[in-house]
Amino acid sequence: MTLRFHWFLPTTGDSRALIGGGHSIPRGVGRPQPRPGTADQVRPPDIDYLAQIARSAEQLGFEAVLTPTGTWCEDAWLVTAALLRETSRLKFLVAFRPGFVSPTLAAQMAATYQRISRGRLLLNVVTGGDSAEQRRFGDHLPHAERYARTDEFLSIVRGAWSGEPYDFKGEHYHVEGAMVARPPEPPPEIYFGGSSQAAGPVAARHVDVYLTWGEPPDQVAEKIAWIRGLAAERGREPRFGIRLHTISRDTSEAAWAEADRLLGGLDPSHIEQAQRTLAASESVGQRRMVRLHEKYRASGSARDLEIHPGLWAGVGLVRGGAGTALVGSHTEVADLIERYAALGIEEFILSGYPHLEEAYWFGEGVLPELRRRGVAGDPWGPRTTA
């Protein structure tokens, strides 16, 4: 099994400090306040900076970049479309929410994107776990019904891509003759995550890649077994991916020193406010992330939040969504990646603060180590040196 690696576009902003906000956390919570003698300035998500990250990710050998969705993010479709001409091979994993656009229109948008990008679109379907965020966009469905709608939505999208008029009548959608002018070739792969009982059957029926946040290996193994079993009942075999942050350095001591620096830059009041917000989330996966921070104490060390050897829960103190990081030397991080791979994880969607510099630490430190071990390929083919 050859592992695939992707990076992240911080369309809510970036910094040398941990940034909260976005992912259901109110704007301003967790934003670093520059301290005397530090460089913890917020980097706005302007197109030139995002292009710099995208070009670097492509150069370093990441296959794709995930672009998030939400109130505090720049729009994922527009940003990534603008970056197509800044890159030549990099794929874009575009996050979007069913229910905010019609499924036939989404199928048309994806088909167009796939043609103009020459096959560089991947789709990350985000059902939504925060009711306040959903209401902001006019969506008032309860949590379980949102997954039922996603189920219908994906049925119509795939039907519209089939090349034949597609009829569908369900509880949430009724379409007649749904289709696109030209089916996308290849159809964009669909990525999806969800830890609730309502999410499992949707993943089993529709997704190409099931995503989990970076929980300890034993918990990830349980999720994989759950989805694999549901999919097998339907004759399907999805792939599995994981969403993590990374702090990789030449030595373990240097990596943990960086984790301590990030932790020390957090305002305890921001942590408290962010955790209150995240604890109220309807997302089962988010609640699982919140439980990983139980060992946090003000003025503690980063190691207090090491929930598995090399897995650090500090990011999730102020950030919703993915809240854990791989921390250690390049060799140690590679070891933990192989541990997840042994469970069945094939794709790793990674990020780090700041995203530009951490892409280089991982791309120049960990990826070569994994290639030496024969578990990671180069999506752009053999490299040559002058």
- pLDDT category at 386 given cuts 50, 70, 90 is very low
- pTM, whole model, 2 decimals? 0.92
The strand pair at 239-249 and 209-213 is best described as parallel
pLDDT tens digits, 39-52: 778 899 999 999 99
> 257, exposed or middle or buried, with CB in 10 Å at 0-12, 13-18, 19+?
middle
Residue 32 has what pLDDT?
56
Tell me which of 295 and 376 has the higher pLDDT.
376
The Cα 303–Cα 308 span in angstroms is 10
Residue 181 has what pLDDT?
95
Of all residues in the chain, what percent are helix, strand and coil, respectively (each to 5)? 40, 20, 40
Tell me which of 384 and 23 has the higher pLDDT.
23
Cα torsion through 83, 7, 325, 212, rounded to 10: 100
Task: Say yes or no to pLDDT of 113 above 80.
Answer: yes
User: What share of the chain has pLDDT > 70, as a percent?
Assistant: 89
pLDDT tens digits, 233-243: 999 999 999 99
Distance of CA 71 to the CA centre of its chain: 16
CA distances from 100 to 125, 139, 152, 300 (A): 12, 8, 14, 42
Of 78, 342, 98, 76, the residue nearest 207 (C-alpha): 98
Task: Say yes or no to pLDDT of 185 above 60.
Answer: yes
- pLDDT category at 375 given cuts 50, 70, 90 is very high
Q: Check if the beta carbon of residue 345 is closer than 8 Å to that of residue 242.
A: yes
Task: Say yes or no to pLDDT of 340 above 60.
Answer: yes
pLDDT tens digits, 212-266: 999 999 999 999 999 999 999 999 999 999 999 999 999 999 999 999 999 998 8
Residue 136 has what pLDDT?
76
Residue 71 has what pLDDT?
83
The Cα 168–Cα 155 span in angstroms is 8
Residue identified by tokens 């942050």 is 245
Q: Check if the beta carbon of residue 9 is closer than 8 Å to that of residue 79.
A: yes
Strand partners, 93: 66, 122
Task: Say yes or no to pLDDT of 26 above 70.
Answer: no
Residue 35 has what pLDDT?
60
Residue 40 has what pLDDT?
72
pLDDT tens digits, 271-302: 887 777 777 666 666 767 777 777 777 767 89
